[in-house]
Amino acid sequence: MAERDFYKILGVSRTATEADIRKAYKTLARKYHPDKNPGDKGAEDRFKDIAHARDILLNKQKRQLYDEFGELGLKEGFNPDAFRQYRGGGGGPAQGGFNPRDLSDLEELLGGLRGGFGGIGGKGGFGGFQDFVGGETVQELFRQGARGAAARGGAPKREVVSEVNLGFLEALRGGEREILLAIPGESEPRAMKVRFPAGVKDGGQIRLRGQGVNGGDVVLKIHVEPHPLLRREGDDLHMVVPVTIGEAYRGAKIAVPTLDGEVSLTLPRGAKSGAKLRLRGKGVSRPEGAGDLIVTIQIRLPETQSDAAERAIQEVENLYGESPRASLKF
């Protein structure tokens, strides 16, 4: 497989910040997401590459390894110190310091190559595989590796940490989502279904037991995207609702959308802009109970400019006994 340029895949520079990477990912993910390109295999493959590139570049340790060694550095069990020593000539077979016939050393350097040899051997590599392993055959190396792993009780479990973006309403309602996750040692991203509990918060985590490397866990860090109308504080939701001058002056019943559907809210007579009204139990639903929806009233003027509107506004102006700012004194 040809070496992939994760920076090029996301369209960012090698000095890109985490914010740059997140922004680039969100833009490309919206464009190539399978839900927006049903049946388009090319878009699906591009989306997988974009997600994999993001996961690597947002992981500080993986990004450092990738910058120095390319995709080889991301292989499971890769030992950067041993590789630097071999590459620099400080411990290769000729020097006697690094003996690839020593299974422990071999596993340190080549342990991550179970998922494929990448650019090590053959054309385009830094040398022939036979030269690299000191003449041992590949089959014999793997037989030795299997015996060594069995003697040690198997390969260690490793936790895989990744990130998932959820829409605001998706996070509130919960549900199931299929994600593509890059697992170290696997050549292709793995598709897995994840159930998100209702009310999951931004910065929360979901742990998938046994789905990581060698039976380790997968930990998904949740990022909840903002909503244009709703804002969350704890289990309460906040929303600004515009009303007319007449509705605020006379009082009215106004329709307000909630997660459970539209409800009627009673606006008291003489309501002021900025007043807050509470709808009990219409916030975030949790097993221990639901939060509230807090509505902030915003009196909105007519957008149309006309002589009739001017005359009507002037009549209202004449009804003020004094300036509404008369009490603003220090």
Quote helix, strand, coil % in the chain, to nearest 5: 35, 25, 45
SS3 for 149? helix
Whole-number pLDDT of residue 85 = 61
Q: Do 160-224 and 230-317 agree at the fold level?
A: yes
Domain ranges (residues) in the chain: 6-151, 160-224, 230-317
| Tens place of pLDDT per residue across the chain (330 aa) | 467 899 999 999 988 999 999 999 999 988 998 888 888 888 888 999 999 999 999 998 889 888 888 888 888 767 777 666 655 544 433 333 334 334 444 444 444 444 444 333 333 333 333 333 333 344 443 444 444 444 445 567 888 898 888 999 999 998 898 888 888 888 888 888 899 888 999 999 999 888 888 888 999 999 999 999 999 999 999 999 999 999 999 999 999 999 989 999 999 999 999 999 999 999 998 777 789 999 999 999 888 888 988 898 888 888 888 888 888 888
Which residues lie below 8 Å from residue 7, measured CB to CB, with a gap of 6+? 13, 14, 16, 53, 57
The whole-angstrom separation of Cα 184 and Cα 112 is 8
Which residues lie below 8 Å from residue 258, measured CB to CB, with a gap of 6+? 279, 282, 293
Whole-number pLDDT of residue 115 = 40
Whole-number pLDDT of residue 88 = 52
Pick the CATH number of 6-151 from 3.30.70.20, 3.40.50.10490, 3.20.20.70, 1.10.287.110: 1.10.287.110
DSSP single-letter state for residue 19: H
Token pair recorded at residue 56? 């690597």
Which residues lie below 8 Å from residue 91, measured CB to CB, with a gap of 6+? 82, 85, 97, 98
What does CATH list as the number for 160-224? 2.60.260.20
Q: Which CATH superfamily does the domain covering 230-317 fall into?
A: Urease metallochaperone UreE, N-terminal domain (2.60.260.20)
